[in-house]
Structure 1
Amino acid sequence: MTAPLLSVRDLTISFGAFEAARDVSFDIAPGETLALVGESGSGKSMTALSTLRLLPPSAHLDGEILFEGDNLAGADDATLRAIRGNRVGMIFQEPMSSLNPVHTIGRQIAEVLVLHQGLRRNAARARTLELLDAVGIPDPASRLEDYPHQLSGGQRQRVMIAMAIANDPKLLIADEPTTALDVTVQAQILDLLKSLQRQHGMAMLFITHDLSIVRRIADRVCVMTQGEIVESGPVETIFAAPRHAYTKHLLAAAPRGEPLLPAPDAPTIVETRDLKVWFPIRRGLLRRTVGYIRAVDGVDLAVRKGETLGVVGESGSGKSSLGYAVLRLIPSRGRIVVLGNEVQSRSWRALRPLRKHMQIVFQDPFGSLSPRMSVGEIVEEGLRVHMPRLTPPERTEKVAAALREVGLDVETAGRYPHEFSGGQRQRIAIARALVLEPDFLVLDEPTSALDVSIQAQVIDLLRAIQQRRQLSYLFISHDLRVVRALAHRLIVMRNGQVVEHGLAADIFAAPREDYTRQLLSAAFDLAPPGSVNADALPFRPGTE
């Protein structure tokens, strides 16, 4: 048998008394893809970082990490420098945080080539162009001088891949490389990684919390929870006959169920007509307007009481701008009616009485919660503004009721956001919106940063709250698997315009537009068995 390229034996990673990983062992053969799967906090990223000794100084490491026979656990700095970025490449989870914002992408890729291969400027530039072309960056010569913020999320991830493969590594470590990407871009990145792996003969250690990705890219899988590998084996075996309860939990965790239909005579809560959000493009010394970015370009929509209208599309399609415009959080043109009130012409002061009836849950629960305020203060803040006549005990009781409704212990009111998990922080954000007893809620990608099992819990929570309160949702997402479990009707956006709209069930069963078929194909081709009914689609996922 072929000797393992990487062999990890009895790896334990500890921070004082806390063990982030415990007795972890696995092998990766040359050219093989091994997936480490688990929810946030399971220890998978720490395990991956430990293979290159990239752990913080406070970490203590025990065990063996054998790469081509060399034990990296006890290697000196010179040995590690010769391996990092050369024989082993790494793609980090968040490219915007990993790329230097003050250096061009061309300079950052060339730096890898200069440090490890000693290439001179012209040779490094030529190789950089080859790498950018290999990872699918269009017209690479025109992008060399771009900075990371000038690229889309998918393009930034491609730059990270170019840097990781620059020196033809034998092992590529990919830490959640597709987590924050649209489902179509996610599929493109996975296809790119598999193609590069075949071309270069690389082995790959792929870290993810999403089992749907594992089935598409991995040969074998190790399932981690609480720092331990609880099950491992070939992908097909694990999916077909999981043995451990945690693996079964992950496989069953995809958002399920169907939305409850609103009453046939339900009144319209929110309506827009010819809604436009155009951002001016200003250039020159006088900053004159030379054109517009048409983020939302003439959108009509209506949401009834107790109904969920799903808004789907790729990044940049105008989904979030549409939600912000409906709430008058950004300037727009067109007609907006909320609870029978035309709000477009109202001043901020005149709009305030309607604010408590229309609330929003933002995409990033950590970024939208003040780190200096306790949970109780965060949830109570809206009551102080919109219900000033409430007494302190009345406010406290409303805060407690909102926390209980989203499944949080009332005792957590005195704690701060950093003390909670991602799913718990999202529940806090939902409680903050619900405490004002709104009629309409904009949900802007509320599950995109969460583990699959936590996604399912949040969807179930939103569905239950909608049933109890007859709330109306504008649910914005690029994940059609999540939308399918919650939305009654659907609008598909592209380049600021609605390309398809109708009942969600009808669109999922028989999409009319090619773009919608592309989204459905990418979403359901990645889905694990049982999470969606891919067989019910009018086309075979991945073939169109």
Structure 2
Amino acid sequence: MHNSLELRDYTLRHADGTALLHEVNLSLRRGELLALVGRSGSGKTMITRALTGLTPPELHARGQLVLDGQRLDQAPPATLRAVRGARIGMLFQQPKRVLNPRLSIAAHLYEALGAFSPATRAAAARQIPELLAEAGLDDPRKVARMRPGQLSGGMAQRAMVAIALAGNPDYLLADEPTASLDSVLKHEVLELLRDRQRERGLGVLLITHDLSSVYSLADRIAVLEHGRIVEAGPATSLLAAPEHPETGRLLAAGLRGSASARSITGAPVLEARGLEARYRRGKRSTPALWPTTLTLHRGEVLGVVGRSGSGKSTFARVLAGLQAPSAGSIHRHLGDVSPTAVQLISQEPAASFDPRLTVRESLNAAVHRLPAARANELIEQSVARVGLDTALCDRRPRSCSGGQLQRLSIARALLAEPQVLICDESTSALDTVAQRHILDLLLRLRSELGLSLVVISHDMQVIGHVADTVAVFDSGRLIEHRPAAELFASPQHEQTRALLAARLPVNAGS
């Protein structure tokens, strides 16, 4: 088929015969937006590598990679290098990890435009502001002079869109491009991709684990499970009447984001009084958290929400005692207990496990003062409590999925016998099924152990699923703090209304 990028009967295997992709048939046509949806580990990212000829050399590939009728799987490396960027563009999940931190955005764009001579550089200089403006960036000339570290998450993703479009590709592969963005930015970036796709006639492959994010955008959807395409078809019909059980599971796992009323009767466990945090650079002091006062009660789930850079993570670190406040105080009503009574669970569990140690060795840090037999008993009890097979204890982190590592990070926190768990974006990188499992696990632990939870998220659907009360932050200020049902029904602040408006429907029937 011409005017398409295709995988035909494509299989990718390890040397031991284990299949990562199994007889995949996938066609991306110019001018359409195709969403590839699946859980973590289903093979989505490996498909992007296959489509760009970048599969790891130790893997064995069989099948065809075809670009506009031309076989690329048999093409020499020089042909593949010429295709990448010029014919097939890439948009990555975390642009700051991809971009060179020492180069300006303009330098990245010069390279993408092939501006290596004075003549081509002069022409490119005129294009750069236009590309950045097309990607929705205000003051593009200023952004061009900035380095990646100076950009917010949303700005960095838009700059990555400009770089991807600089080569004027026919196809754009977008691998989880909004996973780490707040709901407002997620909506804006997805709309930006849709607009550029329509204006330029691009074929866009949008890879995601979130069906709700593609409901109103995709022309077609393909569902991937264990390296196989198990269902594919027009977006509206597939979502309205899914045929494969995996599609049904992905839809059922979607969070509706509506809050229910639940009265809070427990005694206070944490009180923040005039809590303030400032970051100092030389003689300059920048407020990251303005004076904040609120109370967390026993058994309460406090949802903390706000856009990227609103101060949520700073609030979490100060509340957990990992960062000293610049002003104000935290009062703990936790009785005569260890300082580990408040535990913070981070957003990226893989980064919090030493890759050289087994899971058991990492978890043992919480109980290392106990006799070895008792420590192992408690470790396995904690791992089982979070719904995992204790055989995982003897694996290394790289052998565990993202969802398993997130559960293991919760198990490690439970070993410290906490009374308060602070979850800082603990589900943002997980697929919808794993996300739902983790959130339901947290609610079960709240009921079983009487924990108080602080769930920090940029996703109002997550907050609506778990929270009893909601604190909304904007630019470091607490702008609303109310019972969840009241806030969802009648948001008072403009920023809260924007966050709620950015929620996307889960399926055609929602």
Shared fold, TM over 0.5: yes
Check 1:491–1:270 CA distance in 2 against 1; reply closer, same or farther (3 A cut): same
Tell me the TM-score normalized by structure 2: 0.95
Within a 5 Å distance, the mapping from 1:443-462 to structure 2 comes to: 443-462=423-442
Residue 289 (structure 2) pairs with residue 296 (structure 1): yes
Partner Cα distance (1:14, 1:514) in 2 = 51
Task: Give the corresponding residue for 1:432.
Answer: 412
The alpha carbon displacement at 1:263 in A equals 7.1
Partner Cα distance (1:223, 1:480) in 2 = 25
Partner Cα distance (2:123, 2:470) in 1 = 51
Asked if 2 retains the 8 angstrom alpha-carbon contact of 1:52 and 1:72, the reply is: no
Q: Kindly, what percent of the aligned residue pairs are identical?
A: 38
Task: Give the corresponding residue for 1:362.
Answer: 346
Task: Give the corresponding residue for 1:510.
Answer: 490
Asked if 2 retains the 8 angstrom alpha-carbon contact of 1:22 and 1:228, the reply is: yes
Asked if 2 retains the 8 angstrom alpha-carbon contact of 1:262 and 1:305, the reply is: no
Asked if 2 retains the 8 angstrom alpha-carbon contact of 1:15 and 1:60, the reply is: yes
Partner Cα distance (1:256, 1:517) in 2 = 17
1:400 to 376, 380, 395: 380
Partner Cα distance (1:85, 1:261) in 2 = 51
Partner Cα distance (2:259, 2:372) in 1 = 37
Within a 5 Å distance, the mapping from 1:144-293 to structure 2 comes to: 144-255=144-255, 265-282=265-282, 289-290=283-284, 292-293=285-286
Task: Give the corresponding residue for 2:401.
Answer: 421
Check 1:49–1:392 CA distance in 2 against 1; reply closer, same or farther (3 A cut): closer
The alpha carbon displacement at 1:440 in A equals 1.1
Partner Cα distance (1:448, 1:499) in 2 = 23
Task: Give the corresponding residue for 1:371.
Answer: 355
Within a 5 Å distance, the mapping from 1:36-55 to structure 2 comes to: 36-55=36-55
Task: Give the corresponding residue for 1:317.
Answer: 310
One-letter amino acid matched to 2:390: V
Asked if 1 retains the 8 angstrom alpha-carbon contact of 2:135 and 2:159, the reply is: yes
Asked if 2 retains the 8 angstrom alpha-carbon contact of 1:256 and 1:456, the reply is: no
Task: Give the corresponding residue for 2:112.
Answer: 112
The alpha carbon displacement at 1:115 in A equals 6.0
Residue 318 (structure 2) pairs with residue 336 (structure 1): no
Q: Secondary structure at the match of 1:366?
A: helix
Partner Cα distance (1:80, 1:335) in 2 = 59
The alpha carbon displacement at 1:97 in A equals 2.0
- The structure whose RCO (Cα within 8 Å, separation 6+) is larger is 2
Check 1:356–1:432 CA distance in 2 against 1; reply closer, same or farther (3 A cut): same
Q: Secondary structure at the match of 1:13?
A: strand
Deviations 1:126-171 (A, max 9, x none): 1112111111222121222221111111111111111111132221
Q: Secondary structure at the match of 1:100?
A: coil
Check 1:85–1:263 CA distance in 2 against 1; reply closer, same or farther (3 A cut): closer
Check 1:260–1:83 CA distance in 2 against 1; reply closer, same or farther (3 A cut): closer
Task: Give the corresponding residue for 2:469.
Answer: 489
Partner Cα distance (1:447, 1:500) in 2 = 23
Partner Cα distance (1:132, 1:213) in 2 = 24
One-letter amino acid matched to 1:335: S
One-letter amino acid matched to 1:315: S
Asked if 2 retains the 8 angstrom alpha-carbon contact of 1:258 and 1:486, the reply is: no
Deviations 1:494-528 (A, max 9, x none): 011111110001111111111111001112x3543
Asked if 2 retains the 8 angstrom alpha-carbon contact of 1:116 and 1:167, the reply is: no
Check 1:254–1:116 CA distance in 2 against 1; reply closer, same or farther (3 A cut): farther
Q: Secondary structure at the match of 1:528?
A: coil
Partner Cα distance (2:160, 2:117) in 1 = 18
Check 1:91–1:262 CA distance in 2 against 1; reply closer, same or farther (3 A cut): closer
Asked if 1 retains the 8 angstrom alpha-carbon contact of 2:257 and 2:463, the reply is: no
Unpaired segments of 5 or more residues in structure 1? 283-288, 342-351, 534-544
Partner Cα distance (1:35, 1:366) in 2 = 27
Bigger mean CA deviation after superposition, 186-195 or 44-53:
44-53
Asked if 1 retains the 8 angstrom alpha-carbon contact of 2:9 and 2:25, the reply is: yes
Partner Cα distance (2:76, 2:447) in 1 = 60
Asked if 1 retains the 8 angstrom alpha-carbon contact of 2:10 and 2:22, the reply is: yes
One-letter amino acid matched to 2:321: R
Unpaired segments of 5 or more residues in structure 2? none
Partner Cα distance (1:95, 1:264) in 2 = 41
Q: Secondary structure at the match of 1:41?
A: coil
Task: Give the corresponding residue for 2:365.
Answer: 381
Partner Cα distance (1:57, 1:393) in 2 = 44
Partner Cα distance (1:119, 1:93) in 2 = 34
Partner Cα distance (1:473, 1:314) in 2 = 20
The alpha carbon displacement at 1:335 in A equals 2.1
Q: CA RMSD in A?
A: 2.2
Bigger mean CA deviation after superposition, 232-241 or 177-186:
177-186
One-letter amino acid matched to 1:302: T
Bigger mean CA deviation after superposition, 250-259 or 20-29:
250-259
Partner Cα distance (1:258, 1:222) in 2 = 28
Bigger mean CA deviation after superposition, 409-418 or 183-192:
409-418
Check 1:500–1:262 CA distance in 2 against 1; reply closer, same or farther (3 A cut): closer
Asked if 2 retains the 8 angstrom alpha-carbon contact of 1:275 and 1:297, the reply is: yes
Residue 118 (structure 2) pairs with residue 123 (structure 1): no
Partner Cα distance (2:165, 2:154) in 1 = 17
Within a 5 Å distance, the mapping from 1:462-541 to structure 2 comes to: 462-523=442-503, 525=504, 527-529=506-508
Asked if 1 retains the 8 angstrom alpha-carbon contact of 2:113 and 2:124, the reply is: yes
Check 1:257–1:78 CA distance in 2 against 1; reply closer, same or farther (3 A cut): closer
Task: Give the corresponding residue for 1:286.
Answer: none
Count of residue pairs brought into register by the alignment: 508
The alpha carbon displacement at 1:258 in A equals 8.4
Partner Cα distance (1:326, 1:103) in 2 = 36
One-letter amino acid matched to 1:528: N
The alpha carbon displacement at 1:6 in A equals 2.2
Partner Cα distance (1:234, 1:489) in 2 = 39
Q: Secondary structure at the match of 1:217?
A: coil
Asked if 1 retains the 8 angstrom alpha-carbon contact of 2:30 and 2:170, the reply is: yes
Q: Secondary structure at the match of 1:144?
A: helix
Partner Cα distance (2:245, 2:263) in 1 = 40
Check 1:256–1:221 CA distance in 2 against 1; reply closer, same or farther (3 A cut): closer
The alpha carbon displacement at 1:265 in A equals 3.8
Tell me the TM-score normalized by structure 1: 0.89
One-letter amino acid matched to 1:486: V
Asked if 1 retains the 8 angstrom alpha-carbon contact of 2:212 and 2:254, the reply is: no
Deviations 1:265-314 (A, max 9, x none): 411111111100111232xxxxxx13x22111111111111111110001
Q: Secondary structure at the match of 1:138?
A: coil
Q: Secondary structure at the match of 1:216?
A: coil
Check 1:325–1:264 CA distance in 2 against 1; reply closer, same or farther (3 A cut): closer
Asked if 1 retains the 8 angstrom alpha-carbon contact of 2:255 and 2:506, the reply is: no
